Structure 1
């Protein structure tokens, strides 16, 4: 009887252990906008198409770009938390409306190139992941940039003074504060809404990556390209924690490695496509991989860049810190200890 009991108990442990690691039957993936052709067609879609084979999971992966299923980017984390999707491509600046701490990874004007942006990500990654797990029951799998976010304008912007009275499409709170600090009027629009807004005069300028603007045909409705990088438009892929816990530790390790590779591919893509997209938007002979247009390329002097940085220090950071602290009391302190320390900034109470 003792041996029978032991055998039965062992069998029960084996069965329950196996059941604990049962792969989800379907992995519902919310992808990025199809208009972001390079990121979606070259990296994201092939990644998810081959994910099961690459990692050995038995789940059927269902991939749906958010614009094809009529999902607004700002709702991605809510839908992930609710379980409507298991994995989501997240535009961090937009979902930060639900948690302002998340915008700290890409505050307008703090990192104006990809090298600095990677320093920001390295400094904040652990704190960022803890926040996402706590507030949205989700885990960070990738963090990556679309690339330098510049301005497509209908009118010429020759100096910071030209922003006065100008309506500019923005997509983060800190970016809106920056435009206000320059005397402009920020207008929050989703990427897919910007073309018509520019065409109809709802906005005078739109902020996006050079490649994204090219893919969205923004040069058809704008004339001037201002290469003033105000952010990197940080993105991420997050997985619902309940879904994540259904995979065995070995599967989690394989999934982590696969997502790490996709993250590296996205960073490399951001670095490689910006120059070509700018050349194509402005009709240069060096244009190779994007649609060629005839926009005029503007310039920003060192003095004008300094004026922009002053707005960041005097207005953007204090305003962001104040609003974030109102929701999360230690928000600015946590940012100072991570990004601020890495980049030489400090948000002080005003």
Structure 2
């Protein structure tokens, strides 16, 4: 039976005021459960307006359900991306689009899916995600009463700066926006000051000098208009910024096995669409960021393209092995003694890396 935990504090009051939390009778729950969905940040226009919103608008029909679905981007609901696991566990929402690295502060195990510097191209990343998915889902169900519906990347995580840079060495002393613990460790290894910000906070931070550089995908940076407040663009991939659509288990169990199968198939369809978007749209966004043709689906800007140095690619891989993996190993093994072993036989095997 679905349990709705009464909301407390300012967050609960805000959610009640928005109509996003409400009690329902057992009969109503059985006949037509409401699915309360929190999507991505609205500034990620392509992901929200082209993929997520249409998907959830049509989901009841495509999955053959009578479910009433409410969809709101995360920033419009007013919750923090880092709180997603706990919000799902509490039943505050039924489905959330989760930035895994940001939410993994509650359990470092989950960041093992996409440790910065490990899987730096999309084909390799997909193999890593597929290898880790089962262990990820099992722990998510046990720890946070939620299950995986999708896992997908925003695309190559690259660097935008409002200061002239030529190589990673030029980041020394600069304040760089990061959003995962492993990304912060990587930037600190290169002498930068890591500043943790969620996506909606980055544009004003770059504009006001709170940060001088920031990391995201080409598509996200373009749709967020980051080239308006940055000048130099280094398309060196550091990772994939894996996201997930996660569903509260109590809500999942309200559906029959047939409806669960239909939901699984529909969410997998969206996952494949988002993987395709991570490849195709980001190529166009790179061109648009620097004013190069073809630029057809994104906003055209005129940033300075910084050529990728092979030495920088080697620096990233070496830092992943020597800095990122040991830091994550120590943090993760404290919460799960088998963490390193699980990673080695899944992600590590397909990435040709091993934690010692």
Q: Taking structure 2 as the reference length, what is the TM-score of the superposition?
A: 0.91
1:20 Cα offset (Å): 12
1:312 Cα offset (Å): 1.1
1:165 to 144, 158, 173: 173
1:24 Cα offset (Å): 4.7
1:31 aligns with 2:30: no
Residue matched to 2:8: none
1:120 aligns with 2:128: yes
- Which 5+ residue runs of structure 1 have no aligned equivalent? 1-18
What SS does structure 2 have at the residue aligned with 1:22? helix
CA contact (8 A) 1:198 1:205 kept: yes
What SS does structure 2 have at the residue aligned with 1:50? helix
1:95 aligns with 2:103: yes
Residue matched to 1:131: 139
1:193-224 deviation line (CA, Å, top 9, x unaligned): 11111111111100001111111111011000
Alignment of structure 1 residues 8-27 onto 2, 5 Å: 22-27=30-35
Residue matched to 2:114: 106
Give the distance between the partners of 1:323 and 1:254, measured in 2 at CA.
38
1:23 Cα offset (Å): 4.7
1:304 Cα offset (Å): 2.1
Give the distance between the partners of 1:260 and 1:197, measured in 2 at CA.
35
1:163 Cα offset (Å): 1.7
What SS does structure 2 have at the residue aligned with 1:319? helix
1:185 aligns with 2:193: yes
- Stretches of 4+ aligned residues off by more than 6 angstroms: none
CA contact (8 A) 1:211 1:273 kept: yes
Give the distance between the partners of 1:78 and 1:253, measured in 2 at CA.
26
1:62 Cα offset (Å): 0.7
What SS does structure 1 have at the residue aligned with 2:30? coil
Give the distance between the partners of 1:309 and 1:99, measured in 2 at CA.
24
CA contact (8 A) 2:146 2:247 kept: yes
1:144 to 140, 148, 152: 152
1:327 Cα offset (Å): 2.2
Further displaced range: 337-346 or 123-132: 337-346
CA RMSD after TM alignment: 1.5
Higher CA-based Rg: 1
2:205 to 170, 174, 197: 197
1:156 Cα offset (Å): 2.2
1:95-153 deviation line (CA, Å, top 9, x unaligned): 10011000000000001110000010111010000011011100100000110010110
Give the distance between the partners of 2:75 and 2:107, measured in 1 at CA.
23
Give the distance between the partners of 2:174 and 2:32, measured in 1 at CA.
49
Residue matched to 1:265: 273
1:167 Cα offset (Å): 0.9
Give the distance between the partners of 1:170 and 1:294, measured in 2 at CA.
24
2:85 to 71, 77, 81: 77
Residue matched to 1:43: 51
What SS does structure 2 have at the residue aligned with 1:307? helix
Residue matched to 1:222: 230
1:210 aligns with 2:218: yes
1:271-315 deviation line (CA, Å, top 9, x unaligned): 110111111110113211111111001012112211221111111
1:337 aligns with 2:345: yes
Give the distance between the partners of 1:288 and 1:174, measured in 2 at CA.
34
What SS does structure 2 have at the residue aligned with 1:347? coil
CA contact (8 A) 1:23 1:57 kept: no
What SS does structure 2 have at the residue aligned with 1:237? strand
Further displaced range: 36-45 or 151-160: 151-160
- With over 3 angstroms needed to count, the CA separation of the structure-2 counterparts of 1:214 and 1:178, relative to structure 1, is same
Q: Taking structure 1 as the reference length, what is the TM-score of the superposition?
A: 0.92
1:235 aligns with 2:243: yes
CA contact (8 A) 2:175 2:210 kept: yes
Give the distance between the partners of 2:167 and 2:289, measured in 1 at CA.
21
Give the distance between the partners of 2:213 and 2:158, measured in 1 at CA.
10
Give the distance between the partners of 1:171 and 1:250, measured in 2 at CA.
38
